[in-house]
Chain A
């Protein structure tokens, strides 16, 4: 096989499923049972009338593995639609993180300055701590967390990636 086929790439896959008990377990169990990896996973109901949830999964693998993942997902009975946003055209993806920084003095001021640059909002504060809310692409969130590390980073909670196709058409 050629090198290009063997190359491992990251893909963002969007899965529309019935919002029923066990649906998420089926998807997650498929990944663990077949040895695929999950880098990020988000899920929430998106259509209460039709009782549909959207699961956004970031995974990586060779082209053949990614094809398998999508076909295996399509095989699940509660799955309605599987889309590979990475290859189906332009899309936007975002995640949200809540970041707790515990600091005094200059470090505390510096954390606020950096938060400003990243358009992170302080959504909780005490005399010795902040909780920042930062929204952005994964690498932006990563960068913000890295900068907070020396300033007293104490806790991180991230949503994982949500994504949607660009342009007027629904995914």
Chain B
């Protein structure tokens, strides 16, 4: 048989991935994808990272995608392989991370038959992917893959799943290059110029302005971050960033007010509350940012730039909506600003900054250091000071350590901060760091973790060792699910229901058991030493720091409260106020 102009489905798939610029696949084999793994074996264009659990493959692809701006790629088998990937897909959907996840499926004639390792994964993932496909004919395969990459990276990015029945990847068919595939999916990237002009007018006349910037600017790319920085500096207005936006504007710039929201800085939250013009660029008025909606920035006119029209007027009604890509809109904003020769109101701005400096003077992130117990904030500050010269990539898990990292680390560059924001996935950080290290082999990649989160995907230590990925994992071990314990202390009368794990592994021995390096610091005096040692080792390292178990994250906007009702610290009496349940909002 002459098959000179046809390929089998697995060959078509890999050719399409290469044509889409894929270099690394994170995956785990199984029955339904064996033909694909067989083709992978025969080629050397694509590298494969063998994870230990499919959830980690997706987080690793997220880490790869978020640190490079490229589309991450995942390959897992049918049934349990695919369902294990669901948490990662939901995470990528919440945080708008571009991924293509390839799942095996039982042969088409068995679909719907309750076959071995069959799961209706397109059905299961419909609400937690940007889009998904079930390929039923090998001749649709190349087109589908090209379209999936286009959908994943265009507009508001997100995860796309392609379900591949085993017969489809075994049958022979024709390959189509990306140039032959035209997608109907074309999101709007240019903002409406009339709206931009109106926004500029408003920005120029502001007396108490603030830039409120989110991950959309980072997703838009480094150019957008540069344009944002340029525009903010042109105006001299204050700028606050969301958890997802950290790095979009230089953290060391004096115009930066720090992160805002539930654990945001006083100056950022107060400025949001008291501003008269809010310039939201690529943020989505998340409930962790706004607090109580009817107390949210009550005196301001609001401008909202977002590539996703459904983010506009969803939680907060805005005065000037602009649908478009942040880079395009910022470019136009700067053009209009220059063309109109806009001038800021110097006198008003000076008064506004002096108010802000008053809040800043409260030094809300200050904490009482100890020379007996390692304060988690101290540990993070030392990590920052001792590693900043290497521009590290920082990943986190989810909880108190994540918030302390967001508060105390400063990011001058985008794409260097990776954290699970929207979904809040414990177990995200280490696999994400794995993906970052794959993309940046020579970079310093650190996962700041809690002892609870790290155990959700601890098996990936083996992946790090196997692939020689020298990720540094710093576990701030306070013996508790810290954020759960904090809420129980502040909201549930100190009843610590199931938030204390009274048994943990010996993390040093655990690291060694995996073939990695284990280090431990038990007193503040040992902190610098272990950080130094960790950086000197060119292998995966777990550093366990035994931290003060009683420390809580402050400032904090209690659930149901507004930006100007922050609890500043353990002595602040305002924390005795119960959260309200206005608007029928349930406290979460």
A64 in complex: contacting residue of B123, B151, B185, B313, CB < 8 Å: B313
The answer, yes or no, to whether B312 is at the interface (CB within 8 Å) is yes
Q: List the one stretch of A18-26, A113-121, A129-137, A145-153 in contact with chain B.
A: A18-26
The reply on B254 being an interface residue by CB < 8 A is no
Give B583's nearest chain A residue, CB to CB. A1
Kindly state whether residue B494 has any CB partner on chain A within 8 Å. Answer: no
Interface of B is mostly: mixed
A68 touches B126 (CB 8 A): no
Asked if B130 and A29 sit within 8 Å, CB to CB, the answer is: no
B residues near A (Cβ < 8 Å) are: 122-123, 126-127, 130-132, 134, 151, 184-185, 308-310, 312-314, 317
In the complex, the answer to whether B313 meets A22 with C-beta atoms within 8 Å is no
A74 in contact with B151 given A21-B134, A22-B126 (CB within 8 Å): no
Interface centre among B126, B130, B308, by most A CB within 10 Å?
A: B126
Q: How far apart are B451's CB and chain A's nearest CB, in angstroms?
A: 34
19 more contacts with CB within 8 A, not counting A68-B314, A74-B309, are A1-B317, A5-B317, A21-B134, A22-B122, A22-B132, A25-B126, A26-B126, A29-B126, A64-B317, A67-B313, A68-B313, A71-B308, A71-B309, A74-B310, A75-B308, A75-B309, A75-B310, A76-B131, A77-B151
CB distance from B212 to the nearest CB of A (A): 20
Q: Quick check: is A168 within 8 A (CB to CB) of the other chain?
A: no
The prevalent SS among residues of A at the interface is: helix
Verify A68–B151 contact, CB threshold 8 A.
no
Question: B309: which A residues are within 8 A, CB to CB?
Answer: 71, 74-75
CB atoms of A25 and B310 under 8 A apart:
no
B310 adjacent to A68 (CB under 8 Å): yes
Query: Is the interface on chain A under 10, 10 to 19, 20 to 34, or 35 or more residues?
Result: 10 to 19
Query: Which interface residue of B127, B130, B132, B310 has the most chain A CB atoms within 10 A?
Result: B310
Which one of A25, A67, A71 contacts B123 once the chains associate, using CB atoms below 8 Å? A25
CA separation between A21 and B185, bound complex, in Å?
A: 18
Question: Given the complex of chains A and B, what is the CA–CA distance between A74 and B184 in angstroms?
Answer: 13
Chain A residues with a Cβ under 8 A of chain B: 1, 5, 21-22, 25-26, 29-30, 33, 64, 67-68, 71-72, 74-77, 80
* 25 CB-based A-B contacts, threshold 8 Å: A5-B317, A21-B134, A22-B132, A22-B134, A25-B123, A26-B126, A29-B126, A29-B127, A33-B127, A64-B313, A64-B317, A67-B313, A68-B310, A71-B310, A71-B312, A74-B309, A74-B310, A75-B308, A75-B309, A75-B310, A76-B131, A77-B130, A77-B131, A77-B151, A77-B185
The chain B residue sitting closest to A77, CB to CB, is B131
Whole-angstrom distance from the CB of B137 to the nearest CB of chain A?
13
CA distance A11 to B537 in the complex (A): 64
User: Which chain B positions have C-beta within 8 A of A74?
Assistant: 309-310
Q: Which residues of B are found within 8 Å of A72, using beta-carbon distances?
A: 310
Determine the chain A residues whose CB is within 8 A of the CB of B127 once the complex forms: 29-30, 33
Residues in A whose Cβ lies below 8 Å from that of B317: 1, 5, 64
Residues on the B chain within 8 Å of A80, using CB: 184
CA of A108 to CA of B312, assembled, Å: 57
CA A71 to CA B307, docked complex, whole Å: 12
Bound-complex Cα distance A29 to B123 (A): 10
* Bound form: Cα–Cα A149–B475 in Å: 70
Of chain A, the residue at the smallest CB distance from B323 is A71
CB distance from B293 to the nearest CB of A (A): 10
Q: Which chain B residue has the least Cβ–Cβ distance from A5?
A: B317
Q: Which residues of B contact A33 (CB under 8 A)?
A: 127
Q: In the complex, what distance in Å separates the CA atom of A67 from the CA atom of B323?
A: 14
Q: Which residues of B contact A75 (CB under 8 A)?
A: 308-310
Using Cβ atoms and an 8 Å threshold, which residues of chain B touch A30?
Answer: 127
Least CB distance from A55 to B in Å reads: 16
CA A33 to CA B308, docked complex, whole Å:
18
